[in-house]
Structure 1
Amino acid sequence: MACRKLPPEAQKIFDKYCQNFVMKLKREDAIRMFTSDFHLNEKQAETMFELYDIDKNGQLSQWEFRQFYTNLGEHAAELFETFEKLNSEGAGSLDFEKTWDLLKTVKNANGKLADDSELEVFIKAAAGQEKKMDFGKFMNVFCRIKQSRS
């Protein structure tokens, strides 16, 4: 069963940026939170806001923050660092083989590396027939690996 509450440490982070007991963060507060508490640069923080402002209302609700924290949490900076290593040519999409090699080094929720068959399923589902991944698809695979318990 999925957890409906944020862990206490995550709730503290979110609450720090709330104003007048409203459980939503304005864009600038959310970006400040991403840069300060999750060690993202301004551009990365804006990317996270755009991805997780699911209803596109310019605010990050507690539910949207929970999606971010559940998917990435303290691994957000690692996600960007890993993507940048793979995207050294700046093409914005990643080569299948390079991605495979690097994702083989990412540990899951239990501190284990993904086995080949599991990683193959994750990457093929994200990369599709063109065998390329943009940042969104890469984030999807990264999150699946991090949340995997096998």
Structure 2
Amino acid sequence: MACRKLPPEAQKIFDKYCHNFVMRLKREDAIRMFTSDFNLNEKQAETMFEIYDIDKNGQLSQWEFKQFYTNLGEHAPELFQTFEKLKSEDAGLDFEKTWDILKTVKNTNGNLTEDAELEVFIKAAAGEEKKMDFGKFMNVFCRIKQSRA
């Protein structure tokens, strides 16, 4: 069974931004947390908030924060940097480079993703328009990290 609790170091970060024991962060508190504790710039922090405010209520719950922390945590800035390196001149992703990078990402069991599974992840994210923005790129990254293969 998956652990429902945040690791202590993550709980400490989250608790710094909580007010009156409410285990939800208002948008401005979540943005401040992402910039201060995860070294994201303002635009990146807003992107993370938009992605991880899963229920779109304008707040980041402890569960939503756990999703962020489990998937990316301190590696969030690296993911933005990698995405920027992969963008081609037409602002789309260079899929050959994307494949090469994502092929090196290990899942929670420490295994690399099989080519066929990686192809499914990329095709699903890129869709018929064959475009991938940061959110879709991050989705593929997270699916790889969470796969059990």
Q: What's 2:42 paired with?
A: 42
Q: What's 2:74 paired with?
A: 74
Q: Which structure 1 residue ranges, 4+ long, deviate > 6 Å from structure 2?
A: none
- The unaligned stretches of length 5 or more in structure 2 are none
Q: What's 1:19 paired with?
A: 19
How far residue 84 of structure 1 moved from its aligned partner, in angstroms, is: 0.7
Gap change, CA 1:27 and 1:90, over 3 Å in 2: farther
The 5 A counterparts of 1:81-100 are 81-89=81-89, 91=91, 93-100=92-99
Q: Does the alignment pair 1:118 with 2:112? A: no
The 5 A counterparts of 1:118-137 are 118-137=117-136
For 1:60, what is the secondary structure of its paired residue?
A: strand
How far residue 17 of structure 1 moved from its aligned partner, in angstroms, is: 1.1
User: Given that residues 31 and 49 in structure 2 are in contact (C-alpha distance below 8 angstroms), is that contact kept between their aligned partners in structure 1?
Assistant: yes
How far residue 112 of structure 1 moved from its aligned partner, in angstroms, is: 4.0
Counterpart-to-counterpart distance in 2, 1:26 and 1:6: 19
- The unaligned stretches of length 5 or more in structure 1 are none
How far residue 103 of structure 1 moved from its aligned partner, in angstroms, is: 1.5
How far residue 130 of structure 1 moved from its aligned partner, in angstroms, is: 3.1
Q: What's 1:106 paired with?
A: 105
Q: Does the alignment pair 1:51 with 2:67? A: no
How far residue 106 of structure 1 moved from its aligned partner, in angstroms, is: 2.6
Percent identical among aligned pairs is: 88
Counterpart-to-counterpart distance in 1, 2:143 and 2:90: 24
For 2:112, what is the secondary structure of its paired residue?
A: coil
Query: What TM-score, normalized to structure 1?
Result: 0.86
How far residue 99 of structure 1 moved from its aligned partner, in angstroms, is: 1.5
Count of residues in correspondence between the two structures: 149
Q: Does the alignment pair 1:4 with 2:4? A: yes
Cα RMSD (Å) of the superposition?
Answer: 2.0
